[in-house]
Amino acid sequence: MEHAYSIIQFREPLNVWRPSENHTEQEAIEINIIKLLLRSYYNIVRKNIKDYVPKAIMYFLVIMTSLHLFICSF
C-alpha cells in the first residue's frame, strides 16, 4: 500500500513587533497594570498547582491500593 505524503508549506513569518521606547503616561500605567495582573494570575495558578499535586498523588495512591486489595481478596 502506497502512502501519499504531502509537503507542508509555511507562510512567511509575521514581522516581529518591537516595543517602542516612548510611551505616554497612560500607556505606561496600563503596561504596569497588565504586568501586575499577569503576575497575580501566575501566582494564583502556581498556588493551585502546588495544592492539587499532592491531592492527585494521594488520590491515585488510594485508588491503586484499594484496587490491589480488591484483586488480592479473591
* Tens digit of each residue's pLDDT (9 = 90 or more) over 10-22: 677 666 667 777 8
Q: Does residue 48 or residue 73 have the better pLDDT? A: 48
Judged by DSSP in three states, 73 sits in coil
**Claim: this prediction has a pTM higher than 0.75:** no
> Does position 3 have pLDDT exceeding 90, yes or no?
no
For the segment 28-49, the average pLDDT, to the nearest whole number, is 95
Residue 31 sits at the vertex; the CA angle it makes with 26 and 36, to the nearest 5 degrees, is 125
For the segment 47-52, the average pLDDT, to the nearest whole number, is 95
